[in-house]
C-alpha cells in the first residue's frame, strides 16, 4: 500500500517545552489511523503540524508526497480537516459556511450548492441548513464541521478528537460516517482520540503517544496480542476456590482477582476455554460464573506507560 | 509515497477568496448590528461634544471655518474610520480565539487573500461612522459647500484610513492573536489624531505641538478629507494625502503580511 502520511523524527518545541519529541509515523492509503493518547500528550500539536497549521521545530512531514512546510498549499488541496471544538462561526448558517468553505477551495457556486446540499443531507442537517449555528447542539456542530471538511472531496481526512463531548448516539453516528467515508470512498482518515473504544472501533492501525513520544504503534489486534493473553475469571464456591486456582494456574500466569474469584492469563486465548472447563469439571469444581476479557488498548497503554488511559477525565488538550 | 502534481505554491491574490472573507464580515455585521454601535456612536458623540466645546472658536479670525460642523465633521468621521479599522482586526482576533481562523488558514489559496478580505470589510465598515457623522452634522447645520464630491472624498479618505489602521492592527493580531493586543494601536491612533490640526488650525498652535502637528502625516490626511467642507477641492491638498495613504497602506500591508506568513512558525 502507498504511504500517504509520513513523518521523520518530528519535533515541536514551545520554548523549553517539547510537545512532540521525535515521532515517526507512516499511514497507508485507505487506512483509518488512530492517534491515541491522554490530554496533553501532543496529539493536537502533531495534527496541527500534519495539516500545515504549525511548523515543526525539526524533522520532516510528507502528506500525499508533498512536504508540508515547502508545499503547504498543495497539501491543503488534498486534505480535509475537522479540528477540535468544531471551530464554526456561530453567527453563520450551515448554508453560508458551506458556501464560504467552497470558495476557499475554489469550488464554483453551482457545484458548491449541489455538493453542499448532498453533504448536509448525508450528515442529517438539511432541515437546519438555514439556521444559525449558534442554535445547533454539539453533535450537530461536529457533523457540520465534518461536512465542511469534505466539500472539496479530500483524499485524506484529519479529525482531531471528533467525538469529544458528544453523547453516545451522536458519537456512533459520527463513527458510522467515518467508516462509510473510508469504506465507500476510500478516504484515508487520520484521527486523534483519547477514547480507547473509538480507536478500537475505527482504526486499522494506531499509534499511542505519551509525553510527545510514540510508545506503541501497530495494528490494534496485534498490539493487544503482544501485550498478554486474555484474562479468564471464574467464580466458584468458596470451598473450591484454592483448587480452582490450582487448575487455572496450569493454563497460564495467575492474575489478580477480587475476593471469591480465581483468575488466569489464558495462554492460547479463547480456543482453550473448553479445555479449562473440562479440567474444572474433572476436578469436581462447579463453575458459577465465567468470563474471558480480551486484552484492551488500555492494557497496551498501561504496559507502555505504566499508567491507565481509561477513566481519564475528559477535556481538551 | 504517492505524489500528485500541483502548483508548487499558491501565489497571488484570489479575489474570490478575498470577497468571500469580506462577505462573511459584512454578514456578521448585518446579523449583529450592535457591532456597529461603538464605531458609529463614538464619532457622533465626539461630533456633538467637539462642536459644542469649540463652537465659539469660529468667531476668531483665522480659525479656518465659520461653521464648526464643517471643521469637525471630517475630523470625527476619520476617527470613526480608525475605530472601524481596528474593529476589523478585532474580528480576526476573535476568530483566533474561537479557532475559526484555522479554517481560513487551511485554504489552499494565497493567504494574502484573507488579508485583503479583512481590510475590505474594514473599509466598508468605515462608511457607517462617516454616514452617521455627516447625517448628524447636516442636522446640526453643516454647510458642505463642496456637495456630493466632498462627501465622496471623505468616504474615500475614511475607507483608506480604516484600511491603514486595519493593516497595522492585523500585523499585531496575527502575532499575538488576542483582542487585548490591540490596545497599543488604539493608543497610536489617538495620539496621531490629537497631535494634529483636528481641533484647531496649525496657526493656533505653539511650541512643540505646532511642530508635531506640522509634520504629523495625519495633518495631510485631514487636509485631504476636509476638501469641499472648508474650501474647494484642489490637487495641492489632494496629492499629499494620497502619498500618506499610499505609504501607510504599503507599510501596513508589508507588516501585516509578514505577521500572517509567520503564523504557525
A81 touches B: beta carbon within 8 Å: yes
Residue A235 has pLDDT above 70, yes or no: yes
* CB pairs < 8 Å spanning A and B: 107
Residues B175-200 have pLDDT tens digits of: 999 888 888 888 888 888 889 999 89
Q: How many domains does chain B have?
A: 1
Which of A102, A104, A112 to mutate: most B Cβ within 10 Å?
A: A104
In a domain, B170, yes or no: yes
What are the residue ranges of helices labelled H in chain B? 15-31, 36-54, 68-98, 100-105, 111-140, 147-176, 183-194, 207-215, 217-225, 235-262
Category of A22 on φ-ψ map: left (φ > 0), alpha (ψ -120 to 50) or beta: left
CA distance B106 to A52: 8
In a domain, B5, yes or no: no
B31 touches A: beta carbon within 8 Å: yes
A117: its cell numbers: 446540499
CA distance A122 to A115: 10
Quote the pTM value: 0.82
B166: its cell numbers: 486595519
Residues B32-47 have pLDDT tens digits of: 888 788 889 999 999 9
User: Residue B11: its pLDDT value, please?
Assistant: 53
Category of A52 on φ-ψ map: left (φ > 0), alpha (ψ -120 to 50) or beta: left
Category of A164 on φ-ψ map: left (φ > 0), alpha (ψ -120 to 50) or beta: beta
In a domain, B3, yes or no: no
A29 touches B: beta carbon within 8 Å: yes
Whether residue B113 contacts residue B13, with contact meaning beta carbons closer than 8 Å, is answered with: yes
Write out the E strands in A149-294: 156-160, 188-193, 205-210, 213-218, 231-236, 252-254, 261-266, 287-293
Q: What are the beta bridge partners of residue B108?
A: none
ipTM over 0.85: no
In a domain, B8, yes or no: no
A179: its cell numbers: 467508516
CA distance B246 to chain A (A): 29
Q: Could B106 and A51 be called an inter-chain contact, meaning their C-beta atoms sit closer than 8 Å? A: yes
DSSP A16: T
Q: Which residue has the higher pLDDT, B262 or A299?
A: B262
B30: its cell numbers: 448585518
The range of the structural domain enclosing residue B77 comes to 15-262
Residue B8 has pLDDT above 50, yes or no: no
Whether residue A258 contacts residue A310, with contact meaning beta carbons closer than 8 Å, is answered with: no
Q: Could A65 and B4 be called an inter-chain contact, meaning their C-beta atoms sit closer than 8 Å? A: yes
Which residues are within 8 A (CB) of A156 and not within 5 positions of it... i.e. 6 or more apart? Answer: A4, A5, A63, A64, A78, A79, A80, A187, A188, A189, A190
Residue A244 has pLDDT above 90, yes or no: yes
Q: Is A259 helix (H, G, I), strand (E, B) or coil?
A: coil
Q: Is B48 helix (H, G, I), strand (E, B) or coil?
A: helix
Query: Which of A295-309, B102-116, B228-242 shows the lowest per-residue confidence on average (mean pLDDT)?
Result: A295-309
In a domain, B225, yes or no: yes
Residues A195-206 have pLDDT tens digits of: 888 888 899 999
Whether residue A4 contacts residue A26, with contact meaning beta carbons closer than 8 Å, is answered with: no
Query: Which of A4-13, A70-79, B116-125, B188-197 shows the lowest per-residue confidence on average (mean pLDDT)?
Result: B188-197
Please report residues of B whose CB lies closer than 8 A to that of A70.
9
In a domain, B241, yes or no: yes
End-to-end CA distance of chain A: 32
Residues A134-189 have pLDDT tens digits of: 999 888 998 999 999 999 999 999 999 888 878 888 888 889 989 999 999 999 99
End-to-end CA distance of chain B: 26
Residue B6 has pLDDT above 50, yes or no: no
CATH of segment(s) A3-225: 3.40.50.300
Q: Which residue has the higher pLDDT, A87 or B159?
A: B159
One-letter-per-residue 3-state SS of B140-188: HCCCCCCHHHHHHHHHHHHHHHHHHHHHHHHHHHHHHCCCHHHHHHHHH
Pairing mode, if any, of strands A261-266 and A231-236? antiparallel
E strand or H helix at A142: helix A138-149
Residue A109 has pLDDT above 80, yes or no: yes
Residue-wise burial string across A13-22, b where 16 or more C-beta atoms lie within 10 A, e elsewhere = eeeeebbbbe
Residue A208 has pLDDT above 90, yes or no: yes
Pick the CATH number of A229-293 from 3.30.70.920, 3.50.50.60, 3.90.226.10, 3.40.50.300: 3.30.70.920
A227 touches B: beta carbon within 8 Å: no
User: Residue A162: its pLDDT value, please?
Assistant: 87
Sort A92 into a burial class: Cβ within 10 Å, 0-12 / 13-18 / 19+.
buried
Please report residues of B whose CB lies closer than 8 A to that of A76.
106-108
Average pLDDT, rounded, for chain B: 90
Q: Which residue has the higher pLDDT, A309 or A284?
A: A284
The share of chain A scoring above pLDDT 70, in percent, equals 94
DSSP A5: E
In a domain, B72, yes or no: yes
Selection from A19-33, A110-124, B50-64 with the highest mean pLDDT:
A19-33
In a domain, B4, yes or no: no
Domain ranges for chain A, please list them. Answer: 3-225, 229-293
CA distance B56 to B217: 27
User: Residue A317: its pLDDT value, please?
Assistant: 36
Amino acid at each position: 500500500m502507498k504511504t500517504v502520511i509520513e513523518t521523520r523524527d518530528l519535533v515541536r518545541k514551545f520554548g523549553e517545552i517539547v510537545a512532540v519529541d521525535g515521532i515517526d509515523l507512516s499511514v497507508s492509503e485507505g487506512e483509518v489511523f488512530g492517534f491515541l493518547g491522554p490530554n496533553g500528550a501532543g496529539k493536537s500539536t502533531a495534527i496541527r503540524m500534519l495539516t500545515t497549521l504549525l511548523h515543526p521545530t525539526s524533522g520532516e512531514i510528507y502528506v500525499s508526497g508533498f512536504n508540508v512546510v515547502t508545499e503547504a498549499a498543495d497539501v491543503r488541496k488534498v486534505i480535509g480537516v475537522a479540528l477540535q471544538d468544531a471551530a464554526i462561526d456561530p453567527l453563520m448558517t450551515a448554508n453560508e459556511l458551506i458556501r464560504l468553505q467552497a470558495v476557499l477551495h475554489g469550488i464554483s457556486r453551482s457545484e458548491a450548492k449541489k455538493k453542499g446540499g448532498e453533504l448536509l443531507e448525508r450528515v442529517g442537517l438539511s432541515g437546519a441548513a438555514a439556521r444559525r449555528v449558534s442554535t445547533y447542539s454539539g453533535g450537530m456542530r461536529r457533523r457540520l464541521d465534518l461536512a465542511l471538511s469534505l466539500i472539496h472531496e479530500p483524499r485524506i481526512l484529519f479529525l482531531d478528537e471528533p467525538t469529544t463531548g458528544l453523547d453516545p448516539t451522536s458519537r456512533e453516528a459520527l463513527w458510522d460516517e467515518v467508516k462509510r467515508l473510508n469504506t465507500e470512498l476510500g478516504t484515508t482518515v487520520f484521527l486523534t482520540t483519547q477514547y480507547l473504544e473509538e480507536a478500537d472501533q475505527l482504526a486499522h492501525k494506531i499509534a499511542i503517544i505519551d509525553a510527545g513520544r510514540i510508545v506503541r504503534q501497530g495494528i490494534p489486534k496485534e498490539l493487544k496480542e503482544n501485550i498478554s493473553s486474555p484474562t479468564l475469571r471464574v467464580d466458584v464456591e468458596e470451598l473450591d476456590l484454592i483448587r480452582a486456582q490450582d487448575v487455572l494456574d496450569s493454563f497460564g500466569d495467575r492474575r489478580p482477582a477480587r475476593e471469591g474469584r480465581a483468575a488466569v492469563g489464558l495462554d492460547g486465548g479463547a480456543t482453550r476455554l473448553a479445555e479449562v472447563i473440562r479440567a474444572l469439571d474433572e476436578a469436581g469444581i462447579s463453575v458459577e460464573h465465567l468470563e474471558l476479557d480480551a486484552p484492551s488498548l488500555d492494557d497496551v497503554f498501561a504496559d507502555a506507560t505504566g499508567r491507565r488511559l481509561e477513566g481519564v477525565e475528559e477535556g481538551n488538550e | 509515497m504517492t505524489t500528485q502534481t500541483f502548483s508548487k505554491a499558491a501565489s497571488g491574490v484570489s479575489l474570490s477568496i478575498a470577497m468571500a472573507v469580506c462577505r462573511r464580515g459584512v454578514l456578521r455585521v448585518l446579523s449583529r448590528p450592535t457591532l456597529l454601535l461603538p464605531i458609529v456612536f463614538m464619532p457622533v458623540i465626539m461630533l456633538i461634544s467637539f462642536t459644542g466645546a469649540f463652537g465659539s472658536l469660529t468667531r476668531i479670525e483665522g480659525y479656518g471655518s465659520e461653521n464648526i460642523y464643517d471643521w469637525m465633521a471630517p475630523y470625527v468621521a476619520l476617527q470613526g474610520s480608525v475605530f472601524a479599522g481596528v474593529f476589523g482586526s478585532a474580528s480576526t482576533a476573535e476568530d483566533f480565539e474561537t479557532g475559526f481562523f484555522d479554517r481560513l488558514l487551511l485554504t489552499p489559496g494565497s493567504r494574502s487573500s484573507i488579508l485583503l478580505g479583512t481590510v475590505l470589510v474594514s473599509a466598508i465598515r468605515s462608511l457607517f461612522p462617516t454616514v452617521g457623522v455627516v447625517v448628524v452634522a447636516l442636522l446640526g447645520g453643516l454647510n458642505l459647500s463642496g456637495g456630493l464630491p466632498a462627501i465622496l472624498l471623505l468616504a474615500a479618505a475614511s475607507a483608506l484610513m480604516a484600511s491603514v489602521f486595519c493593516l497595522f492592527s492585523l500585523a499585531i493580531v496575527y502575532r499575538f492573536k488576542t483582542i487585548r493586543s490591540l490596545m497599543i494601536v488604539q493608543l497610536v491612533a489617538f495620539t496621531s489624531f490629537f497631535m494634529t490640526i483636528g481641533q484647531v488650525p496649525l496657526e493656533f498652535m505653539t511650541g512643540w505641538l505646532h511642530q508635531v502637528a506640522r509634520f504629523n502625516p495625519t495633518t495631510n490626511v485631514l487636509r485631504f478629507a476636509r476638501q469641499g467642507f472648508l474650501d474647494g477641492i484642489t490637487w495641492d491638498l489632494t496629492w499629499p494625502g494620497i502619498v500618506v495613504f499610499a505609504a501607510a497602506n504599503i507599510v501596513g500591508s508589508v507588516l501585516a503580511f509578514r505577521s500572517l506568513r509567520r503564523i504557525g512558525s
